[in-house]
Amino acid sequence: MTSVAGVAAISGGSSLAWLSDWAKEARRDPVANRQKFENPKIPVEIDGTKVFFISDFHLCLGKNLLWDLRHAEDFQKMIEEVRAEISEKDILVLGGDYVAYPHFEARRDLPEVEKLLVNFSSFSQTKFALLGNHDWEYGEKNVAQIRKFLERADFDVLADESRILKVGAAELPIYGTKDWRLGGMEISEVQKFAEEFRNQFKLILTHNPDWVQKNSSGFEDSLVLAGHTHGGHFSNSWIRAAALYQAKYKSDLIFGRHKLRDLVELIISNGVGAALPFRQNRPPDYLVVELCRSGK
């Protein structure tokens, strides 16, 4: 008969093995999550354009935590892979949460953000950036510093603002939201945007996807790209998918692709970093979404 101590030892060994595997998955290089979005209202001039959406870096020096999170140099391989693929007609978007934990020493991590964003300075594509909840939590002074780094790298920072991307005679309306919880996002503003361009294809960029399921009415012909959830970090038969986020935000929009209404779709990135040092079946990723006219 197996002793209680023996069972405990086996159980403990299995738990350590699981944790080791989950820690390795969290540290993996981010992979491209490739999607194709079709809509007949996508202009011919924009057909085939790819949107690269990279979110949730969570940079941290690691000296002020019990674990070591991501550093700027951890993303060099991913940046070079994007550089090798992206074309002049494509769009590059950073989805927010450049920093990890604002409850610790914010200014120690800001140099990591600057070091990361310098890598994007040489990208000549159309570039947009959002701010995430972790960025907003750093306070007004440090948010201003992150924004300065982004603008220095030629990113157009969107915070409840719209832009019209002109490609030849075609127009692509784009809206970037503030953070749903902490950035003071104005639902009325994005709704005005949707109404203004009701008969056109629209690209909506947001850090937190929670607002979409309650407020997507009137967003026909829209594609929404989001991050924030990290895919929930865990998913298997005994850890409920995205349990960490469902408990807090009471939303089922945690990972993957969702069709909310006719021709309204949401695609969520798992993010390239992590708020925890563990992942399971939710590897780090960034979105590469090809915009295509239907029937291509």
Residue 237 is predicted with a pLDDT of 46
Residue 252: other Cβ atoms inside 10 A: 12
pTM of the model: 0.89
Q: DSSP of 70-89, one letter per residue? A: B-GGGGHHHHHHHHHH--TT
Q: Alpha carbon 118 to chain centroid distance?
A: 19
Confidence of residue 11 (pLDDT cuts 50, 70, 90): very low
pLDDT digits (tens, 9 = 90+) for 116-135: 999 999 999 999 999 999 89
pLDDT digits (tens, 9 = 90+) for 43-56: 999 999 999 999 99
Q: Is the pLDDT of residue 243 over 60?
A: no
pLDDT digits (tens, 9 = 90+) for 187-196: 899 999 999 9
- Please give the single-letter amino acid code of residue 5: A
Q: If you average pLDDT over residues 149-165, what whole number do you get?
A: 97
Q: If you average pLDDT over residues 257-282, what whole number do you get?
A: 84
- What is the CATH architecture assignment of 4-292? 4-Layer Sandwich (3.60)
Residue 214 is predicted with a pLDDT of 74
Q: DSSP of 74-141, one letter per residue? A: GGHHHHHHHHHH--TT-EEEE-S--BS-TTS-HHHHHHHHHHHHHTTTT--SEEEE---HHHHHT-HH
Q: If you average pLDDT over residues 262-285, what whole number do you get?
A: 84
Using DSSP, state whether 22 is helix, strand or coil.
helix
- CA atoms of 148 and 287, how far apart (whole Å): 25
Using DSSP, state whether 231 is helix, strand or coil.
helix
